[in-house]
Every structure is written in C-alpha cells, then in structure tokens.
C-alpha cells in the first residue's frame, strides 16, 4: 500500500512539473499527428529546429514544428519551399509542399527568445506564416513533444 502511494505521488509530481499529457485537436500537424492523438510533452522552452512543440496562443494550446530559431531569416516561396538563412530546409515529414496562408512579409527574422513554427499540413495550418500567430515567444512554449501514446505509440524525436 505504501509503495503504491509513493508511486502515485511520483507520477503526479512528474506530470505536474516535468511532463504533460495532451490531446491533439485538428489536422494541422498531419501526417505526423492527427486529431485525437494523445501525446506526452516534456516541459521546456529550449527547442531545436525540427522539434514539435506545444505553445499557448490567446488561451489555446497549439501544436507546431519549430522551423526557425532566434536570429534565423525565414522565407517561404510561392510553391511552399522553406528557406532558413538562405538554404532550403529539408523537410522529410511533409507529404506535399504548400505555401498556405502567408500574411507576413518575407524574409522574417526571428526575434530574440522566439521561434518560427509551422504545421506539417501546410495547406490548413495557421502558424508563424500568419500575422495572427507570428513568431512564438519562448515564454509561450509549454513543452516539447516526446512520444505519441495513442492511438499507435511512436517516438517524435
């Protein structure tokens, strides 16, 4: 009984201070993640290009992929090809290229302590290409996705 209570307390502490369990809503991250997927995120605001993160925007939690880091110059051409600091970004996680809804003027220089994020489903994702979202301040980051646990487990790193 005591070991069960200790285990329960450790799990609660880990979920409160280290990890978050979240559900994905919408299809902006398909084909990587789909509506209804359950994921585990590690609470951190230190991200690298290619990481998938959860962040808060206007009271909502959004899930996107990190494309640009502080100081990077980001461009997206009319075909949806993304360039970071003048070099085409290799994006093997995409099914198709799509410019999406760009309302920012390129190139975008990512501000200090911020990230440029995009969904993997570029046709439908509202992300840093839109002035509605823009670059994400590191204080808005809630975590880095580590693993999808439902419906089919997979490592996201």
What's the pLDDT at 157?
58
Taking residues 146-157, report their average pLDDT.
74
Active site residues: 28, 64
C-alpha distances in Å from residue 138, one per residue of 43, 54, 56, 61, 126: 12, 11, 10, 14, 18
What's the pLDDT at 11?
61
**Domains annotated on the chain, with CATH:** 2-151 (2.10.109.10)
What's the pLDDT at 96?
86
What pLDDT digit, counting tens, does each position of 41-67 carry?
Answer: 998 878 999 999 999 998 889 999 999
What pLDDT digit, counting tens, does each position of 24-39 carry?
Answer: 999 999 999 999 999 9
CA dist 63 and 53 (Å) reads 6
Task: Give the contacts of 137 (CB within 8 A, at least 6 positions apart).
Answer: 111, 113, 114
Quote the mean pLDDT of the chain: 88
| pLDDT category of residue 153 using cuts at 50, 70 and 90 | low
What pLDDT digit, counting tens, does each position of 85-124 carry?
Answer: 999 999 999 988 888 888 999 999 999 999 999 999 999 9
């Amino acid at each position: 009984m005591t070991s069960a209570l200790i285990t329960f307390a450790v799990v609660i502490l880990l979920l409160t201070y280290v990890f978050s369990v979240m559900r994905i809503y919408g299809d902006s991250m398909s084909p990587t993640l789909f509506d209804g997927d359950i994921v585990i995120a590690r609470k951190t605001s230190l991200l690298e290009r290619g990481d998938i993160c959860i962040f808060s925007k206007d009271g909502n939690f959004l899930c996107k992929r990190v494309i640009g880091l502080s100081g990077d110059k980001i461009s997206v051409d009319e075909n949806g090809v993304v360039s970071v600091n003048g070099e085409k970004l290799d994006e093997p996680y995409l099914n198709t290229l799509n410019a999406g809804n760009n309302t920012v003027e390129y190139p975008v220089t990512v501000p200090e302590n911020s990230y440029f994020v995009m969904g993997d489903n570029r046709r439908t994702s509202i992300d840093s290409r839109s002035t509605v979202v823009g670059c994400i301040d590191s204080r808005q980051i809630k975590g880095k996705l580590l693993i999808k646990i439902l419906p089919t487990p997979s490592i996201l790193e």
